[in-house]
């Protein structure tokens, strides 16, 4: 077995017959809109047979430490694991990682109660199905910039094809305040994307949009709603809990390099 570097950030493991049995990837993203106090985010992802995982993690962590040393702003290194992947967690623990972050699925019961929150002055709620091509491109650009992603129009059009899809916008006379993308899955409403314009943060935009989504789900006769939350993203868990969401399960574990 041997490890081969495909480029600076990707490695593969080959068995004695030259067949690929594992792969590791290191990615740097600047996510200042999600993590304003730690904008640099270096992620590690490994898919491999058990026999080569430690070698691939070793190569990936070495590369991540090099990238970390080059940064001039607050940056962290984390790995992406399935919650049940204890062997990988043991490997990473030996390399200085601790299970400090992850993705949680949050749920709440849908009710048809009136919205008790106040929207910011002069702001209006608009719902659409994202059919306009120009709006699709602008929405996609905002998403990619916010989440450091490189999604294409096909991804967005797939979302828009989900059952009961709606985009819920809050707009002021001058600009877009924030937006949600929601749909249904069985008897559950899904808040799939939530983002707030930088200058409108901490002004109740996200909370009000989530309440409007609740009213929309109630109009469909749905029993519950869910949203997936990056647990350590500042404000995300408090926002969800304040709105009445409770954690149902951990979808992913993100061990963080601590030493």
Both tokens of 201, joined, read: 């943060």
* Structure-token pair, residue 259: 């030493």
HEC readout, 101-120:
EEEEEEEEECCCCCCCCCCC
Question: Does residue 60 contact residue 44 with C-beta atoms inside 8 Å?
Answer: yes
**Encoding tokens for residue 229?**
């939350």
Residue 176's alpha-carbon distances to 19, 186, 204, 225, 250, in angstroms, are 51, 31, 14, 25, 32
pTM for this entry: 0.90
Task: For each of the domains in the chain, give its residue range(s) and CATH number, in order of start.
Answer: 2-101 (3.40.630.30), 111-222 (3.40.630.30)
Q: What is the pLDDT of residues 92-146, one digit of tens each?
A: 999 999 999 999 999 999 999 999 999 999 999 999 999 999 999 999 999 999 9
The pLDDT tens digits of the residues spanning 57-91 come to 999 999 999 999 999 999 999 999 999 999 999 99
> Given the structure tokens 């594992």, which residue do they identify?
22
């Amino acid at each position: 077995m041997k490890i081969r570097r495909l480029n600076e950030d990707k490695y593969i493991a080959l068995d004695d017959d030259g067949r690929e049995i594992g792969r590791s990837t290191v990615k740097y993203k600047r996510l200042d809109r999600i993590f304003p106090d730690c904008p640099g985010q270096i992620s590690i992802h490994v898919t491999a047979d058990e026999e080569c995982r430690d070698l691939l993690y070793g190569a990936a962590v070495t590369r991540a430490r090099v990238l970390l040393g080059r940064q001039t702003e607050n940056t962290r290194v984390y790995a992406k694991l399935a919650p049940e992947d204890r062997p990988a967690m043991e490997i990473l623990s030996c390399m200085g990682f601790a299970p400090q972050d992850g993705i949680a699925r949050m749920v709440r019961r849908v009710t048809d109660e009136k919205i008790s929150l106040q929207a910011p002055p002069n702001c209006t709620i608009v719902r659409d199905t994202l059919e306009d091509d120009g709006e699709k491109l602008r929405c996609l650009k905002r998403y990619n910039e916010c989440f450091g992603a490189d999604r294409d129009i096909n991804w967005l059009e797939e979302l828009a094809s989900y059952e009961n899809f709606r985009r819920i916008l809050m707009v002021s006379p001058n600009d877009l305040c924030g937006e949600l993308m929601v749909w249904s899955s069985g008897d559950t409403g899904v808040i799939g994307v939530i983002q707030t314009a930088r200058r409108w943060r901490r002004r109740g935009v996200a909370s009000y949009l989530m309440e409007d989504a609740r009213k929309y789900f109630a109009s469909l006769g749905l029993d519950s709603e869910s949203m997936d939350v990056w647990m350590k993203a500042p404000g995300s868990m408090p926002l969800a809990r304040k709105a009445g969401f409770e954690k149902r399960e951990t979808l992913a574990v993100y061990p963080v390099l601590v030493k």
